[in-house]
Chain A
Amino acid sequence: MKDLSVLCGDALGLMTPLLLAAIGGLFTELAGMLNIALEGLITIGAFAAAAAVHAVSASPHFPAAGNGAAAVIALVAGSLAGGMVALGYGIGSQRLKANEFVAGLATNLLATGIVVALADRLLGNKGVVSLAIPGLARPLERTLGNMPFLGELLFRQDILTYASWFLVIVASFVITKSTFGLRLRASGSNPGALATLGRNPKRYRLVAVVLSGLACGLAGAALTVSLSAYVPDMSAGRGWIALVAIYLGGKKAGGVLAACFVFAFAESLSNYAQGVLRVPSDFILALPYAITLAALIGGAAWKRLRGGQIR
């Protein structure tokens, strides 16, 4: 029982970057885009966060390390960088008539390349770089953290995790209740409906892309902040997993949340397994992909079954 609450609590923490990316991707998905650039946008966000903190802490004007401002700088920088790259991707795919899929691949390639090329320059190292980012505040830990079960599960999370949950609620509200959400969904479902009403559906797509970039950038920054370090290939497939989470979650914020939790739980379980069982690390690293693939297949099979026999 105790183990389960720890496992789930860890999962909730690990879920944060995945959830942020998936919620961002949900906007582009609803706008009718196949956004495979999520992975690259997370990579950019993680790197930009690291670069910003690295630059600031090298500066004499910045107070000694350990300041909470470092985390804020990282998150803002990561998010903005993700948003900017996404804007480029959006302009490329929506304005310059590049195929979305191709532009998405190009964005991923570009992100990988630019990050490695700049890491040497800006971080002084192509490998792991540790950064002076203190751990994020855990606002409820002191008051509620010792509650049995729930304490470990819910109340020892950091502030960013709570913020990501709040963002899910906000996103869900925007999508289902706001006029912007209505038009966004129209741009995905039937762009012609917007066009005949004199609105450009591409504009809503562009906004969705930028939102996804901001969210993925934030997700990448969250990775950097949670490790207090920059590691090459930090995203490690989270963008793709987020994409699957959007499908499995039925393109609804609540469903996406549930799907993300399943993946995060798998990750937490594999971390646990690594500590307890002596499994080769390659298997552990493959596990998130394997579970995602299994979920994808299982989800499709279930849909087939439930839909009854075909033909």
Chain B
Amino acid sequence: MPSVSMKGISKYYGASSILANDCADLLVRDGEIHAIVGENGAGKSTLMKILYGLERPDSGRINLGGREVHVRSPAEAALLGIGMVQQHAEIVDEFSAAENVVLCAEPRRFGFVLDRRAARARFAGLAADNGFSLDPDALGSGLSVGERQELEILKLLYRKAQVLVLDEPTAVLAEEEVFSLFATLRRLAASGRTIIIITHKVREVRAIADSVTVMRHGKTLSRLAAGDVGEEELATLMMGGQSFAPALRTPRRPRPEDVSVVFEAQDLRYVLRGAARPAVDGVSFSLRRGEVLGICALAGNGLAELEDLATGFRRPSSGRVLLDGRRLPRRRGKAIGYVPQDRLRRGASLHSSVQENLAALDRDAFFPHGIRSVHRMVSFAEAAIRGYDIAATPEQRLGSLSGGSIQKVILARELNGNADFLVFSNPTWGLDIASTEFVYERILAARERGAAILLVSSSLDEVLALSDRVGVMSRGRLAGIEENGPTLDRAHLGKAMLGAGHAVDSRRAHAGRGLAMGRKP
């Protein structure tokens, strides 16, 4: 019953009249899983926000189940049975899972008292009906990223949503969690719900969708059956001409002059205050000149803590971190180039200008005798803008730049000192294909000049595409590091990431068949 059709949707933004949607059309049949693909800024999110009532279109019509509807707010969308899962799950950490689900539509007694028992019962029923195994009493703060997303879906189901929109749901998930999500989506579609999923990963389209709409520059280009279209073809449609497929780089054999060890982690342990088990547990590895070591892990398995330990942001509870044979300095200097996962907070000062961001690391050079050298600052900024192709001026506030440009500013700053040791954490998270390719080139160029590079990433694809050696982490422990290459067993790595006896094992095991997906030619 709930088919969705959007016709001639246009949406202008602000005074600059950016055309976010340009006569976009969308048709999704009932019970179908439909993918909307496109590069960053192609207008996918805007189109879906219009459907969900977060944005109002400047023109166009929406039909739901053959009836024209006007969606003026998310509340109205909910009444029409449309629900949307945003990229970042909006969970109240202090609340139980059941409380999170019933929030704002609570079962009550006497009109104003929250009926907790009814809330739990409704939650349990809903979870059982749809194959979720979430505990209704689990606190929001204790949920993994994947579980938070499941909770968001439960919220929508509780509100009787028949059309579910998911905005890049896999962007925040690790590989294993993606399979679980896809299994959930298939069940929901089988029970008659219509599902729309926004993505820019072409591989996912073939893995999950029945049909697909490609968007570029605010326009909808074509509607295709997912089975009829190849990955290459989709990528070409999205990019408009140039095709892109993440190539597997051949690993490097270290040259004789490169074998000196630059960075060493010795039996690192890190115990968070009040935590029952260590977040990082007995991790050791060493890193030589001119190689990339990639470490991959699911969220919550110690990857973020490892990133902090390797860069000196946190001190290990025990063990040693050595750079050129010495302990890390208390404060990071130019000897470490570091592109953090949390770019917007840790990696950038959004309220400062581009040139100030670029000058923030090597302050000795830009402030001779403690006095600002305007000339050096501006000329470095101009050089960086040219060299990294950043769409900005030196004086522009960094916060006004796009995500890809911000990452380029960070790269320009961190690679400038030609540091021997570089740390990249999820360096292409949320970037479009062109920016991703640019970041990859820079990482490999740094490897060529002989830097020792630690790449931590929750994307196995990324780690496999860039690394000379690969390791995976599970529950804070690092599984054996292996040489990357065509013979590397991807499924084996996936299993290692889940770790033996992991609490979510039983639930995710059935999704294991999807592991082959990544290797599809």
Contacts and interface: CB of A to CB of B under 8 A. Distances in A.
A1 interface: no
B74 interface: yes
A277 B362 CA distance: 62
Interface in A262-311: 307-311
A198 B91 contact: no
A178 B113 contact: yes
Contacts of A189: 92-95
Contacts of B113: 177-179
Interface size class of A (residues with CB under 8 A): 20 to 34
B112 A193 contact: no
A263 B75 CA distance: 46
B520 interface: no
B397 interface: no
Contacts of B74: 196-198
Interface string A155-191: 0000000000000000000000111111101100110
Contacts of B99: 182
Contacts of A190: 90-93
A178 B114 contact: yes
Contacts of B100: 193
Contacts of B314: 311
Interface string A180-212: 111101100110111111110000000000000
B416 interface: no
A77 to B, nearest CB: 29
Contact of B106 (A179, A196, A198, A310): A179
A199 B103 CA distance: 10
Contacts of B155: 197
Main secondary structure of the interface of B (DSSP, over half): loop
Contacts of A194: 103-104
A199 B78 CA distance: 12
B273 interface: yes
Interface in B269-320: 273-274, 314-315
A193 B73 contact: no
B296 to A, nearest CB: 27
A309 B273 CA distance: 7
B108 interface: yes
Contacts of A310: 273
B86 interface: yes
B103 A198 contact: no
Interface residues of B, number: 28
Contact of A179 (B84, B92, B114): B114
Given A178-B112, A179-B112, A193-B90, A311 B103 contact: no
Interface in A55-88: none
Nearest to A194: B104
A179 B111 CA distance: 9
Nearest to A182: B114
Contacts of A185: 92, 94-95
A190 B90 CA distance: 7
Interface in B101-122: 103-106, 108, 112-114
Given A178-B113, A311-B315, A183 B94 contact: no
A311 B315 CA distance: 6
Nearest to A196: B90
B71 to A, nearest CB: 11
B21 to A, nearest CB: 21
Nearest to A311: B315
B103 A197 contact: yes
Contacts of B92: 185-186, 189-190, 193
Interface centre among A190, A195, A309, by most chain B C-beta atoms within 10 angstroms, is A190
A192 B90 contact: yes
A190 B93 CA distance: 8
Contacts of B105: 197
Contacts of A307: 273-274
Contacts of B84: 196
A193 B114 contact: no
A171 to B, nearest CB: 14
A183 B92 CA distance: 10
Contacts of B273: 307-310
A198 B79 CA distance: 11
A82 to B, nearest CB: 24
Contacts of A196: 74, 84, 86, 90
A190 B88 CA distance: 12
Interface string A138-150: 0000000000000
Contacts of B94: 185, 189
A70 B114 CA distance: 39
A135 B86 CA distance: 59
Interface of B: 73-75, 78, 84, 86, 88, 90-95, 99-100, 103-106, 108, 112-114, 155, 273-274, 314-315
- Of all A-B residue pairs in the complex, the 9 with the closest CB atoms, nearest first, are A198-B75, A193-B90, A192-B90, A198-B74, A197-B104, A179-B106, A190-B92, A189-B92, A196-B90
23 contacts: A178-B112, A178-B113, A179-B108, A179-B113, A179-B114, A180-B112, A182-B99, A182-B103, A182-B114, A183-B103, A183-B104, A186-B92, A186-B95, A189-B94, A190-B93, A192-B88, A193-B103, A195-B90, A197-B78, A197-B103, A197-B104, A199-B104, A308-B274
Given A197-B75, A310-B273, 12 more contacts: A178-B112, A178-B113, A178-B114, A185-B94, A185-B95, A186-B103, A192-B90, A193-B90, A196-B90, A197-B104, A197-B105, A198-B75
